[in-house]
A and B are shown apart, each in its own frame.
Chain A
Amino acid sequence: MQLVTVSGPPSSGKTSVILKSIQALQSRKLKVGVVKFDCLYTDDDILYEKAGIPVKKGLSGSLCPDHYFVSNIEEVVQWGRKMELDVLVTESAGLCNRCSPYIKEVKAVCVIDNLSGINTPKKIGPMLKSADIVVITKGDIVSQAEREVFASKVHSVNPRSITMHINGLTGQGAYELSTLLHDGKENLDTVKGKQLRYPMPSALCSYCLGETRIGDDYQMGNVRKMEMGDGHEK
């Protein structure tokens, strides 16, 4: 089985791209399943189910979704093996632009869209910078020039990645992506012992543990304050 982790900001087109790529993989007689990670809510599982794709979802609720991902990925892999999948895709929404659920030696795809603004590549951390493949969607709604400028911004923060343009609505480019997702070379039985590509932040404060009250008395652990100045600065 081959594992592919797909990540990207909310509504960037992850589900659309995954669905179209799976169609292409299925036409090559490959069995593909999806596990969707989200925080509070997702409908994506219904979309996958409708397309006849085996799917599981995990909602992290009060936990950070990326921490939740790492704590569950081994079980997810075992599910994929039990289902006898050729390709297992995980979809997770990057919620704070900081973390990424990418694992060393496991194919990592980041999906971002042309509409998010040209400074977005600068703002996204390891989720974009350490991906192997960056898929740029919604090129149909912007000009050639905007596509080029956006792609060049992506290129300068992650020069080593493969950058692809995919239209999530028509699927143009998805067949091409699918040839990169399954090369038949990798065969993975477990992710035990593998490592994350980038460590998650070391934040651990009282609010992580469920504190709701506001004020210094309740702030414990790793707390940092903004610099507000004295109100006299210009």
Chain B
Amino acid sequence: MKNRHLLKESIEALLEKYPFLGAFFEDNKLEVEGSGHLTFPEFLQGFDREAVEENAMDLESLEEGLVTYVEQMLSFLGLDREEGVWELTILAGRDKSGNPEGFDEITIRRSDIVSIVGPTGSGKSRLLADIEWTADGDTPTGRRILINGETPDKKWRFSSGNRLVAQLSQNMNFVMDLTVREFLELHARSRMVEDEEAIIGKIIREANHLAGERFDPDTPVTSLSGGQSRALMIADTAILSTSPIVLIDEIENAGIDRKKALALLVGEEKIVLMATHDPSLALMADQRIVIRNGGIHKVLPTGDAEREILAELAEMDSYIADMRTRLRQGEKLSKA
């Protein structure tokens, strides 16, 4: 702990320099108001033995905790400003039988979309996990992940919230009891963004753009429809999450415009990887990784003929969507 000098400064001075310490005090239930002139250790000495036991406090680890917290927050903020990640490289490992994979290396850059296809159990999710963990030959596949051409610092693995990778959940429900606005405020604060209002406005606009039916900021998140929840999550991940890499494992598609969703993510300069069984999504990517028996079997660019097929698939999707709407409205269907 090189920054022990923090323990010699007054709480007032600390809060002035590091406003994010407010959250640290609050989450640790420390009422520092009125004690701004004290140093943190002096403040802690104010608790007698009974209070310490009563609140199950650990004074020593609180002191160290404050110093570590400041160090980590500073490095997190610095990281944000650098916009540090521009490419991701996968170096080949081996498949489930121990054979070398069918490629040497794959490099993916910002704003690229890569889909991952392969039979159930073939290892699609494993590949996403390797990326999240920035594998260094230490997972069952033996793969290595490079960031900007180099073996990444292991801090990516353990930084709280894993700042390298954001993952869109398969199951998109909200459990928090908050309105859309409160929810976004909370998230914005945990990310320490500066222009909270503007960013929240933008997320809600984009989410409404993706979802069929509009919602307003005062709707409780738990009463959003499936499509609206997904739209909000995608817009939030694209805009508020600073993680440069977005992993998508089997995104459900009902109720949102998937093409716009991917365009939004890519527009925010994310590197997007998605494991999918859905042909439309697979073809929306610039290239696709084919997995077989745990290994990357080949990497295919999306060809022109395939893009035409994508257009046909889109027509079929809209045909199905149209039929769904008409059924919902109580119509009897007939062939066109």
Among A206-230, those with CB < 8 Å from B are: none
Task: State how many angstroms separate the Cβ of A107 from the closest Cβ of chain B.
Answer: 15
Tell me which of B68, B162, B168 contacts A165 (CB under 8 A).
B162
Which of B112-120, B234-242, B314-322 sits within the interface? B234-242
- Are the C-beta atoms of A130 and B61 separated by less than 8 Å? yes
- Are the C-beta atoms of A157 and B175 separated by less than 8 Å? no
The A-B contact count (CB < 8 A) is 125
Residues of A within 8 A of B24 (CB): 156, 159
B65 is an interface residue with CB less than 8 A from chain A: yes
- Assembled-state Cα–Cα distance A95/B139 (Å): 35
A57 is an interface residue with CB less than 8 A from chain B: no
Chain A interface residue count, Cβ-Cβ cutoff 8 angstroms: 47
Among B209-261, those with CB < 8 Å from A are: 229, 233, 236-237, 240-241
B140 is an interface residue with CB less than 8 A from chain A: yes
Q: B175-186: contact bitstring with A at CB < 8 Å (1 yes, 0 no)?
A: 110000001101
Residues of B within 8 A of A202 (CB): 53
Among B55-90, those with CB < 8 Å from A are: 56, 58, 61, 64-66, 68-69, 72
Task: State how many angstroms separate the Cβ of B179 from the closest Cβ of chain A.
Answer: 14
Which of A42-50, A70-78, A146-154 sits within the interface? A146-154
Listed from nearest, the 9 A-B pairs whose CB atoms lie closest are A125-B56, A155-B160, A152-B190, A159-B69, A156-B27, A151-B161, A159-B68, A145-B187, A162-B158
29 residue pairs of the A-B complex, CB under 8 angstroms, read: A114-B175, A118-B176, A121-B27, A130-B58, A141-B169, A142-B173, A142-B175, A143-B172, A144-B166, A144-B169, A145-B237, A145-B241, A147-B167, A149-B190, A151-B161, A152-B160, A153-B27, A155-B69, A156-B23, A157-B27, A159-B68, A159-B69, A160-B64, A162-B158, A175-B129, A176-B129, A198-B56, A198-B58, A199-B53
Please give 19 more A-B residue pairs, beta carbons under 8 A apart, in addition to A158-B65, A163-B158: A122-B29, A126-B58, A139-B169, A140-B169, A141-B171, A142-B173, A142-B174, A144-B166, A144-B167, A148-B187, A149-B186, A151-B160, A156-B24, A159-B68, A159-B72, A160-B64, A163-B161, A164-B158, A176-B139
